[in-house]
Structure 1
Amino acid sequence: MRLSVQEAPFDFGTEAGAFAAAVQGAGAVVTFTGLVRDEGGRLSVMEIEHYPGMTETAIAAMMDQAQARFKLADALVIHRHGRLAAGEAIMMVATAAPHRADAFAAAEFLMDYLKSRAPFWKKEIGPDGAEWVAAKDVDEDALKRW
């Protein structure tokens, strides 16, 4: 399993290719990349903050849960911090398992966790100022299925 919390952009194709090439004992690889959204068309930049060490520990614990729960052969989580523009890749999850159902479920499990529980703080900055992004009920509800 590999986890990276980083400021630098990542190349999805390179990361996905390296992950799939290194996997042993899997019949399925699932990948997901989240992008910075500009729903209202007024986002200048998103700032993402975190506490180094705490963030990695929390995400690694969730990756361990996913591996045990879904019989994963491997998993990858990349999450960025710092200043990101609309359309930039903010995170990537890749999972590999002997069967596709576990790979898909583990990817969704990790994505739901990253969206709702991972210790990141997001601030949207636009022409009218800055606003912290609040938790959404729909994201919290997604966690209840696990």
Structure 2
Amino acid sequence: VTAGNSSGLNDGAAALLVASSAAVERGGWSPMARIVASAVAGVAPEQMGIGPVPATRKALARAGLSAPDIGLAELNEAFAAQAVPCMSELGLDPSVVNISGGAIALGHPLGCSGARILTTLVHGMRRRGVRYGLATMCIGVGQGIAIIVESVS
């Protein structure tokens, strides 16, 4: 892991509106996606970076889906050395991962990365007509988080 294969730290701000279906209906809003499942997991701190793998497996199981069902994925690649094994372990098709460039290309705005990743994912799903998308993040000391969303038209 070096400065040459890690994401830059950037300033950023974002806001997402997460609401129940009842609130969406009352507000007359047009949602872009629906949260299908999410999960968190942890691995030994020495394996930092691979935490999204067990989190994703748990989220897929909760959703009743498998890796081939995922049409688009955003993996927060704080380091290239972290994203590659996650893709490999999960069996994700590299052609559907970080299609707009991940954190190495776009930056890693601390405190905003989750919103940036999910926004990038949902817009990419809409452009490509994808049904299911996956967003993951590795969180320091071996933790990982994953969320699966479904396009809503």
The answer to which structure has the higher helix fraction is 2
* Range class of TM-score, shorter chain: 0.3 to 0.5
**Greater RCO (CA < 8 Å, at least 6 residues apart):** 2
